[in-house]
Structure 1
Amino acid sequence: MILAVTGGKGGVGKTTVAYNLGRALDAVVVDADLGMADLPTARGPDLHDVLAGRADPVEAVREGGPVALLPCGRTLVGARAADPRALVGAIEAVADEYGRCVVDCPAGAGSDVGMALLAAEACVLVTTPSSVALADAVRARVLARELDAGLAAVALNRAGEDPSVDRIEGLFGAPVTPIPESDVVARATAHGVPVASLDGRAAEPFEELGSVVQSSVRS
């Protein structure tokens, strides 16, 4: 399974959802945001090196942390050397080796997002309840549909006390999992660890999202 995590607007918590969803699904998370990588990183080959032909995608996966991860480089030089056209093959190679792959897409609806969606069999759309975020999410949904990345679920981040789940499910035609704002989530994100590492109860929305995704993809 290759699952893209996308969202039209930056700042909606897409990377946090992708990282924690990777843990919930026991999947490798690929940081495909070539220009603004935000997932944990470490020494060794990264996605920039893979897309520049300097490293093998499977060998670049880091298995030692709480979530298996193919990180992306953080330098402008590395981003310029990377060939985005090689992204689909790299993602498919990781999925062939590990079985499950969650791809953290860049924000927006540019060609780099399109390459990640092109590799995916399904996607999760991340949004907040704000009207601006929802409008951008609708545009991201259109792009995913055009590239045959079926919408498995919507993650409604920072959902608040009374989220409009029914309305948003009607808007996107997919199940919605509310993820409330939480100090635990903020601390886990700041320390580069999954929420479950700090508080299992706070991680329950991500576990629920993982279950929804698995049910949707199987059906």
Structure 2
Amino acid sequence: MILAVTGGKGGVGKSTVAYNLGAALDAVVVDADLGMADLPAGRGPDLHDVLAGRAAAVEAVREGGPVDILPCGRSLAGARATDPRRLVAAVEAVERHYGTVVLDCPAGLGSDVGLPLLVAEASVLVTTPDEVALADAVRARALARELDAGLVAVALNRSGETPPTDRVARTFGAPVVAVPERAAVARGMANGLPAGRVECDAGEAFCELAGRVRSVSR
């Protein structure tokens, strides 16, 4: 299965959700943001190399950490050297080898978002309760629907003490999982540790999201 994590507005926590959802699903997380990579990286080939024809997709997957990742390069020169049209074949190759792929999509609604959604079979939408974020998420949902990346669930990130889950569920017509803001999650991301490893209630929310995904992939 190939799952896109998208959301429209930047800064809503898509990368955090993608990383933790990948951990809960035992999936490979692909950092598909070619211009502003945000997931942990390391030495070796990355997605820029794959899309420039310098490496095979499976060769670029980093194994052995808490989450398997296909990271993206962080240089402007690397991004310019890529052929984004190769993304679909690269992601499909990773899926064939590993089984489940989570795509961390870029912010916005441009063609760089369309390609990950095009290859995805389903999507999880990430938003905060902020009205601007919700408005952008509505547009992101429309794009996902147009590209047949059916909406599995909405991750209402940094949900606050009284999350508006019912209102958000009515807006998007999908189940909503409230993800509380916890400093432990941010510290874990900085050290490459998913929420399940730092033992906080946000980890339970990511497990619930994973359950929603599994229910549609059977």
Q: TM-score range by the shorter chain?
A: over 0.9
Does structure 1 residue 122 correspond to structure 2 residue 122? yes
Aligned equivalent of 2:36: 36
Aligned equivalent of 2:90: 90
Taking the aligned partners of 2:36 and 2:173, their CA distance within structure 1 comes to 30
Moved more, 51-60 or 161-170: 161-170
- Partner amino acid, structure 1, of 2:108: G
Shift of 1:201: 4.2
Aligned equivalent of 1:64: 64
Identity of aligned residues (%): 71
Moved more, 20-29 or 181-190: 181-190
Aligned equivalent of 2:21: 21
Unpaired runs of 5+ in structure 1? none
Task: Indicate the RMSD between aligned Cα atoms, in angstroms.
Answer: 0.9
Q: Secondary structure at the match of 1:133?
A: helix
Taking the aligned partners of 1:110 and 1:39, their CA distance within structure 2 comes to 20
- Asked if 1 retains the 8 angstrom alpha-carbon contact of 2:22 and 2:67, the reply is yes
Shift of 1:214: 1.2
Number of corresponding residues: 218
- Asked if 1 retains the 8 angstrom alpha-carbon contact of 2:21 and 2:206, the reply is yes
- Partner amino acid, structure 2, of 1:3: L
Taking the aligned partners of 2:49 and 2:88, their CA distance within structure 1 comes to 15
Normalised by the length of structure 1, the TM-score is 0.97
Taking the aligned partners of 1:160 and 1:123, their CA distance within structure 2 comes to 23
Unpaired runs of 5+ in structure 2? none
Aligned equivalent of 2:164: 164
Shift of 1:166: 1.1
Does structure 1 residue 50 correspond to structure 2 residue 50? yes
Aligned equivalent of 1:11: 11
Q: Secondary structure at the match of 2:156?
A: strand
- Partner amino acid, structure 1, of 2:180: P
